[in-house]
Amino acid sequence: MIQLIPCGESAVIVEFGTGIHPEIHYKVMAFTEVLDTEPFLGMIEYMPAYASVTVFYDPVKVKNSQQESGRDQRKLSCEIVCSLLEKILGKLDDSALKSPRVVEIPVCYGGEFGPDLEYVAEHNHLTVDEVIQIHVSNQCLVYMIGFAPGFPYLGGMSERIATPRRITPRPAIPAGSVGIAGLQTGVYPITTPGGWQLIGRTPLTLFRPYNDSPSLLQAGDLIQFRPISAQKFEEYKEKSQ
Amino acid sequence: MTIHILHSGLLTTLQDLGRVGYQKQGIIVSGAMDVYSLRLANLLVGNDEGEAALEVTLMGPKLKFDDDTLLAVTGGNLSPTIDGRILPMGRPVYVKAGSIIKFGACQSGCRAYLAVAGGYDVPKVMGSKSTYLRAGLGGFHGRSLQKGDVLSVQAPQETSLRMIQHFVKQHSAVSFVSTDWCAGRGQTAISSGRAIRITRGRQFDLFTEASKNALLTDSFRVTPQSDRMGYRLSGAVLKLAHQVEMISEGITLGAIQVPPDGQPIILLADRQTAGGYPKIAQVIAVDVAVIAQSKPGSLLSFQEVSVAEAERLYLAKEKAFAQLKAAVSLKLQS
């Protein structure tokens, strides 16, 4: 059941389900593709999440667009937006989705770049090499970007390397750090405090504020982690500078 | 045209109407906490209403103007002065080169906006001049202003130039000139003790009856931990009827979320793009500025309205603002 719920007078949240599942995610992606290609008059932007899309709009512009087209002016802009969104939902076709982009993320595992790699191995009764092997074996799906600029919320990491967060968070995790928290894995785009178990670091820059698309990753991408040596890491870094 | 920062104040940043269109990339909106005061300050100096202005918080800065400048201060009354004389708020003020503007005691509200004709000359990042402190982006080198900084001002637009010509005629021995009228008294969002209007949040029904009642009948104190990201309140402990597993979703301006400690947080200009705490309510857009002008320590109470009423109030406010804009523009031409 898809639900439309107004959040105050300038946003509507479209809820596609309640869990983290690829099927729900495909619906979210198909819906945002339509919003990208055919935004309605007065739409400001949207925010896709795991199972929902929050659509932000300007009530004045929505109302004016209704006046111009000679339609019922007593309608609330919220009602107008909901009926426009329902129309999109009515003809939503997630089978026509573009095939996902695969983004390769090189990671230098362990050592100073991944101080918690050994702990993750110990916790799961594995060797360090096995942890790396498992981490690079599954492609991870980017469900949404949030929390920090360019930060991906990923799904699809193997349960075999799931590890609880650190008891004491680190005051500063360097940008590019690849971590594990429970069943989640992810990459920190900017330096922030955090409690994730750090297993490695990528030389890629995930947040590029002066680029047309500031976030390297987008919702809907597939991530393929690939192990690299410390030497390769430095080479990448030099190239990107 | 340059301005020297002699004292930074508590938190002085450049803000406009925010960085729009990048939330799906995890980039927060930012922008002025009290958008109506920002828009008014710009109108009064002949700028586009969305131009960036200085957002001055609680303890204001001390600034030296190197050139004759047309400016306006709106919002909270932080006792601004020009060379020791009271700077009249809510109207265009033409100051002479060498003037020193200083903010003093906080008399009402807690955020003032200082706009200059032409606007501040900083590059737009992702379409906005707003300062995004945590990512070190936008505004003046991505940070709040510090002692020793020098701000540049852009060339004024046609409307501003006409006003300046008008002022130059009167400008003689006095250190500054202003109009004899002021605008936007009725627009200022200084809390008058009136309840903050809210609509039901997405997870309203998940809270206990006692919590829903407490939200609408109790008062909540704004704690000192409040900032541009959110206002943390203390008061009745709000609880969910049953533990629910929430997954992260988009967050709206003015959403009132309740973390496990039961103390609500109102999410404001620098709110994160997504979050996973249940939201009990949503502050209506026209009252977000009232929150923004509430000092730590003040008490807030809430009153529920329908989404239809929230929208009616929004449209009415925009209409009133359009009228104010027309009135100001008439005044400036006369």
Structure confidence by residue, pLDDT tens digits, B314-332: 999 999 999 999 988 888 7
**pLDDT (tens digit per residue) in A212-221:** 899 999 999 9
* Nearest-CB residue to B23 (from A7, A45, A218): A45
The predicted-structure confidence for B22-35, as pLDDT tens digits, reads as follows 999 999 999 999 99
| C-alpha separations of B313 from A60, A134, B193, B305, B318 in Å | 11, 55, 18, 10, 9
| pLDDT of res. B189 | 62
The residue of chain A with its CA nearest to that of B308 is A76
Which token pair is A160? 């075999």
pLDDT at A161: 96
Q: Is the separation of the CB atoms in B13 and B54 below 8 Å?
A: yes
In the numeric block, the tokens 């008062």 are attached to B219
pLDDT in tens, B207-216: 999 999 999 9
Provide the shortest C-alpha distance from residue B305 to chain A (in Å). 10
Residue range B141-149: average pLDDT?
98
Closest chain B residue by Cα to residue A19: B247
State residue A199's pLDDT score.
Answer: 97
Are the C-beta atoms of residues A179 and A197 closer than 8 Å to each other?
yes
Q: Which residue has the higher pLDDT, B187 or A13?
A: A13
CB–CB contact B135 A49 (8 Å): no
pLDDT at A30 over 70: yes
pLDDT higher than 70, residue B188: no
Distance CA A27, CA A46 (A): 15
Instruction: Closest CB to A150: pick one of B25, B28, B199.
Output: B25
DSSP letter (8 states) at residue B120: B
For residue B85, what are the contacts with CB-CB under 8 A and spacing of at least 6? B175, B176
pLDDT band at B166 (very low <50, low <70, confident <90, very high): confident
3-state SS, B265-306, equals EEECCCCCCEECCCEEEEECHHHHHHHHCCCCCCEEEEEECC
Buried/exposed code over A34-62 (b: 16+ C-beta within 10 A; e: otherwise): bbeeeebebbbbbbbbbbbbbbbbbbbeb
Is there a contact between A76 and B250 if contact means CB atoms under 8 Å apart? no
**A76 contact residues in B (CB cutoff 8 A):** 307-308, 311
From the list B270, B210, B219, the residue with the least C-alpha distance to B32 is B270
pLDDT for position A237:
86
Task: Locate the chain A residue with the closest alpha carbon to B279.
Answer: A7
User: Nearest residue on chain A to B21, judged by CA atoms?
Assistant: A45
3-state per-residue secondary structure call for A50-84: CCEEEEEECHHHHHHHHHHCCCCCCCCHHHHHHHH
Question: Which run of H or of E encompasses B215?
Answer: helix B209-217
Which helix (DSSP H) or strand (DSSP E) does residue B297 occupy? none
- Is B283 an interface residue toward A (CB < 8 Å)? yes
Task: Supply φ then ψ for residue A143, to 5 degrees.
Answer: -80, -40
pLDDT over 70 (residue B186): no
Of B272, B313, B315, the CB nearest to A146: B272
The half-sphere exposure of B126 on its side-chain side, counting CA atoms within 13 A, is 30
Mean pLDDT of chain A: 93
Instruction: For residues B92 and B181, give the distance between their C-alpha atoms in angstroms, rounded to a whole number.
Output: 9
DSSP H or E stretch at residue B170: helix B158-170
Q: Where are the alpha helices (DSSP H) in chain A?
A: 22-37, 59-68, 77-90, 117-123, 128-137, 230-240
Asked whether the beta carbons of residue B26 and residue A215 sit closer than 8 angstroms, the reply is: yes
| Encoded tokens for A82 | 């909901």
Which value does ipTM take for this structure? 0.95
Rounded to whole angstroms, how far apart are CA atoms A63 and B5?
A: 44
Comparing CB atoms, the residue among A18, A144, A219 nearest residue B248 is A144
Contact A62, A80 (CB under 8 A): yes
% of chain B beyond a pLDDT of 70? 96
Residue found by looking up tokens 């130059």 in the block: B168
* Structure tokens given for B302: 């809430």
Task: Give Cβ neighbours of residue B49 (< 8 Å, ≥ 6 apart).
Answer: B38, B39, B40, B42, B43, B325
Query: Please, which pLDDT band fits residue A62 given cuts at 50, 70 and 90?
Result: very high
Nearest-10 Cα torsion for A121, A122, A125, A128: 30
What pLDDT does B245 receive? 77
| Percentage with pLDDT > 70 across chain A | 97
Measured between CB atoms, which of A9, A146, A210 is closest to B314?
A9
Nearest to B75 by CA among B120, B25, B35: B35
Q: How many Å lie between the alpha carbon of A61 and the closest alpha carbon of chain B?
A: 10
Name A69's Cβ contacts closer than 8 Å, sequence gap at least 6: none
Average pLDDT over residues A99-116: 96
Question: Which residues fall within 8 angstroms of residue B23, CB to CB, at 6 or more apart?
Answer: A45, A46, A47, A56, B29, B250, B273
* CB proximity under 8 Å: B 5-34 to A: 20-28
Pick from A23-32, A166-175, B177-186: least confident: B177-186
3-state secondary structure (DSSP) of residue B9 = coil
Q: Which of B23, B285, B307 sits opposite A47 (nearest CB)?
A: B23
pLDDT of residue A240: 77
Determine the residue among B200, B203, B247 to mutate to test chain A binding: the one whose Cβ has the most chain A Cβ atoms within 10 Å. Answer: B247
**Is B301 an 8 Å CB contact of chain A?**
no
Phi then psi dihedrals of residue B330, to 5 deg:
-65, -45
Rg of chain B, C-alpha, whole Å = 21
Structure tokens at B279: 């939201």
Q: Do A8 and B23 touch (CB under 8 A)?
A: no
Average pLDDT over residues B116-134: 97
Confidence class of residue A241 from pLDDT cuts 50, 70 and 90? low
| CA nearest to A140, candidates A154, A152, A160 | A154
CB-defined contacts A:B, below 8 A: 138
Residue B202 is nearest to which of A7, A145, A148, comparing CB atoms? A7
DSSP reduced 3-state for A19: coil
Q: Is the confidence at residue B171, as pLDDT, over 70?
A: no
**Where is pLDDT greater, at B173 or B104?**
B104
Mean pLDDT of B36-57: 96
In the three-class reduction of DSSP (H, G, I as helix; E, B as strand; rest coil), residue B95 is classed as strand
Neighbours of B233 (CB within 10 A): 23
> How close, in Å, is residue A35 to chain B by CA atoms?
12
Res. B185 pLDDT band, cuts 50 70 90:
low
Q: Which two tokens stand for residue B278?
A: 């249940």
DSSP state of A39: P
CA distance A217 to chain B (A): 8
Strands A177-181 and A170-173: unpaired
Q: In the predicted model, what is the mean pLDDT of chain B?
A: 93
Residues of chain A contacting B248 with CB distance shorter than 8 Å: 49-50, 144, 146-147, 153
pTM here is: 0.93
H or E, element range at B325:
helix B307-333
Asked if the model's pLDDT at residue B175 lies above 90, the reply is no
Burial class (CB in 10 A: 0-12, 13-18, 19+), A132: buried
- A182 forms beta bridges with A163
Write out pLDDT tens, residues B205-263.
Answer: 999 999 999 999 999 999 999 999 999 999 999 999 998 878 899 999 999 999 999 99
